[in-house]
Structure 1
């Protein structure tokens, strides 16, 4: 088996054995990586690669938005939807208007979201199972909303 195939198998196994929270954290990590790559490509005037990286990040954010469970997530799910909408709109406008600082701002928001998910107590998630998915620390959520300029 070649290195590339081994890596793909490892990634597949990692995804298949991860909890819901771990998968969400992985999505944030990949979106952050793709946004950083998009900015780097933009700065090097590699516009085709910039477009590919930006599209990957936008696809991940859109998928996170589509996966929200409004019944179990309640207000937090609605707040996350607003944040995801804000990110998508901001990134599209940043691309059109060449506002690279907005790429950095989006990365900061995604890092805060990722950290909020990372800090969810693991034992609480295991005990409550599916019911606990979608819950974020309210203080972290408030910080994210303020940073993103999203009204409560």
Structure 2
């Protein structure tokens, strides 16, 4: 097995053992990290750095958007989809406009979403409606519903 194949096996095993909640958290953290690098590339007038990291952020936000449970369509889910769609519409424009403000606004939204995710999902796992008992009586997370239901995010108070 080559070194690249070994690395792929390692990474697959590493991420397969993680909960969906932890993976979403890692996506938020990765998006914030790459937004910082994209901002740095913008300030340093380094189009390669800016472009590479903006592309990664856009991919991560797309993944976050597709991870929303499509069967849930409540107010908070609609808000979250709209927020991600707005980010996905505005971030590509940064390559043309060189507008740091767009990156800063996106960063503030993602920081707030990450904070909510940490407080409401990671720190309260099993304490709220996001966990249900299966037929054997054991608890299991209802990831899809938790991520996209009103139990986690109140769209009126998110960015107040």
Place the TM-score, normalised by the shorter chain, in its bin. Answer: 0.7 to 0.9
Alignment correspondent of 2:46: 46
* Count of aligned residue pairs for this structure pair: 142
Alignment correspondent of 1:143: 157
Point out where structure 1 has 5 or more consecutive residues left out of the alignment.
Answer: 148-152
Contact kept, 8 Å, 1:70 with 1:77, in 2: the verdict is no
Alignment correspondent of 1:132: 146
User: Does 2:2 match 1:35?
Assistant: no
Alignment correspondent of 2:94: 94
Residue 32 of structure 1, CA deviation: 0.8
Residue 96 of structure 1, CA deviation: 2.1
Q: Which has the higher helix share?
A: 1
Partner Cα distance (1:89, 1:95) in 2: 12
Return the index of the structure with the highest Cα Rg: 2
Alignment correspondent of 1:76: 76
Residue 93 of structure 1, CA deviation: 2.8
Alignment correspondent of 1:122: 125
Alignment correspondent of 1:110: 110
Point out where structure 2 has 5 or more consecutive residues left out of the alignment.
Answer: 133-139
Contact kept, 8 Å, 1:20 with 1:133, in 2: the verdict is no
CA RMSD of aligned residues (A): 2.6
* Range that drifts further, 107-116 or 94-103: 94-103
Query: Aligned in 2, Cα 1:74/1:89: closer, same or farther, shift over 3 Å?
Result: same
Partner Cα distance (1:33, 1:73) in 2: 30
Offset from partner CA, 1:108-133 (integer Å, 9 cap, x none) = 10011111111122113444622434
Contact kept, 8 Å, 1:34 with 1:57, in 2: the verdict is yes
Residue 42 of structure 1, CA deviation: 1.4
Runs of 4+ in 1 over 6 A off after TM superposition: none
**SS class of match (2:89):** helix
